[in-house]
């Protein structure tokens, strides 16, 4: 496979949610959360979707991992329509890291079970056979890979910080050995001091494992640091798209310009 090969192709994607009224709950209108968008992600690329809250970014992420079904359009993973793939087959190719590391982990399960079940799902999908001890060993390898100690298998999510929980979520995603990871605002709920650690981890995993990312974000500084290309969403549509440098330095759409102007300046006198 070439590094410039298109991995994910989104074509004319739509998701409309009905607005219902009356005792018969008739749809009288639709919220056009995602309104006819198209973009591509290349192998090894970090592609970002940015925009304000409610613009359709997270809905797009959910459509790509098939948590919800589209109203229209099609999504191809390489040359395969993902709607024709079984859920387990898609899960082996595309995984998601959720925004909230506190809500995305089952509080009743140990860390070993959370990550180990993902390992077992991959084995089931591929037909491989591993003994219990080998599954445990693989789980420990994944925890080590994301910078966590391997002696936490019997501990529970509430015993960890937000940054550590997000690392657990990343380990769970890696267990399926995906090619593409959808990262839905992966650091927005974390302290500033922890955000850089998680972002650097994502970059290291991209380089060492050949991953591609769809990064969902509203922080343009994070997008500039992490991404190769960026698409700007506004009211369900993509209004501008291109390389990070081109979009940041030569923004054309008024909404993109307003987003860039709103980026905080660390040293106020530098803006004078």
Domain harbouring 107, CATH code: 3.40.50.300
Q: What is the number of domains present in the chain?
A: 1
Residue 1 in any domain: the answer is no
Domain annotation covers residue 180? yes
Task: Write down the pLDDT at residue 221.
Answer: 87
Average pLDDT (35-63) is 94
Task: With CA atoms as reference, report the closest residue to 251 among 220, 222, 227.
Answer: 220
Question: CA 10 to CA 203: how far, in whole Å?
Answer: 24
What is the strand order of the sheet 94-97 is part of? 94-97, 180-184, 212-217, 46-50, 229-234, 237-243
DSSP assignment of 168-225 equals HHHHHHHTT--SEEEEESTTTTS-HHHHHHHHHHHHHHHHHH--EEEEEES-HHHHHH
pLDDT over 70 (residue 52) = yes
Q: Is this structure's pTM higher than 0.85? A: yes
Mean pLDDT computed over 150-169 = 94
**DSSP class per residue in 61-127:** HHHHTTSS--SEEEEEETTEEGGGS-HHHHHHHEEEE-S-TTTSS-TTS-HHHHHHHHHHHHHHHHT
pLDDT score of 8: 96
pLDDT above 60: residue 271:
no
**pLDDT, tens digit (0-9, with 9 covering 90-100), for 227-254:** 999 999 999 999 999 999 999 999 999 9
Task: Let me know if residue 223 belongs to a domain.
Answer: yes
pLDDT one-digit tens code per residue, 57-114: 999 999 999 999 999 999 999 989 999 998 888 999 999 999 888 888 999 999 999 9
Is the model more confident about 233 or about 271? Answer: 233
* pLDDT (0 to 100) of residue 1: 45
The reported pLDDT for the residue numbered 193 is 82
Interatomic CA distance for residues 230 and 50, integer angstroms: 7
Q: Residue 146 corresponds to which tokens in the numbers above?
A: 């994301």
Q: Which domain holds residue 111?
A: 6-271
Q: Look at residue 268 and tell me whether its pLDDT is greater than 60.
A: no
Query: What are the residues whose beta carbons fall under 8 Å from the beta carbon of 259, sequence distance 6 or more?
Result: 50, 51, 52, 220, 232
More confident call, 166 vs 192: 166
- Strands 229-234 and 94-97 turn out to be unpaired
User: 114-154, pLDDT tens digit by residue?
Assistant: 999 999 888 877 777 767 778 899 999 999 999 999 999 99
């Amino acid at each position: 496979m070439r590094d410039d090969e298109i991995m994910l192709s989104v074509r004319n994607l739509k998701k409309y949610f009905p607005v219902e009224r009356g005792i018969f709950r008739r749809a009288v209108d639709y919220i056009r959360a995602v309104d006819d968008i198209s973009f591509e992600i290349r192998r090894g690329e970090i592609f970002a979707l940015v925009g304000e809250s409610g613009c359709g970014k997270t809905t797009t992420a959910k459509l790509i991992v098939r948590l919800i079904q589209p109203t229209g359009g099609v999504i191809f993973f390489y040359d395969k329509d993902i709607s024709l793939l079984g859920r387990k087959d898609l899960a082996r190719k595309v995984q998601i890291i959720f925004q909230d590391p506190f809500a995305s982990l089952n509080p009743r399960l140990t860390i070993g079970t959370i990550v180990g079940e993902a390992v077992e799902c991959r084995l089931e999908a591929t037909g491989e056979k591993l003994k219990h001890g080998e599954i445990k060993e693989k789980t420990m390898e994944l925890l080590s890979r994301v910078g966590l100690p391997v002696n936490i298998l019997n501990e529970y999510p509430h015993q960890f910080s937000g940054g550590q929980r997000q690392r657990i979520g990343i380990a769970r995603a890696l267990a399926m050995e995906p090619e593409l990871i959808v990262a839905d605002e992966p650091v927005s709920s974390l302290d500033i001091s922890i955000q850089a650690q998680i972002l650097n981890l994502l970059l290291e995993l991209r380089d060492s494992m050949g991953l591609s990312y769809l990064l969902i974000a509203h922080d343009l500084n994070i997008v500039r640091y992490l991404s190769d290309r960026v698409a700007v969403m506004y009211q369900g549509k993509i209004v501008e798209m291109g390389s990070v440098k081109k979009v940041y330095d030569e923004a054309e759409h008024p909404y993109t310009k307003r987003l860039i102007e709103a980026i905080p300046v660390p040293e106020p006198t530098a803006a004078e």
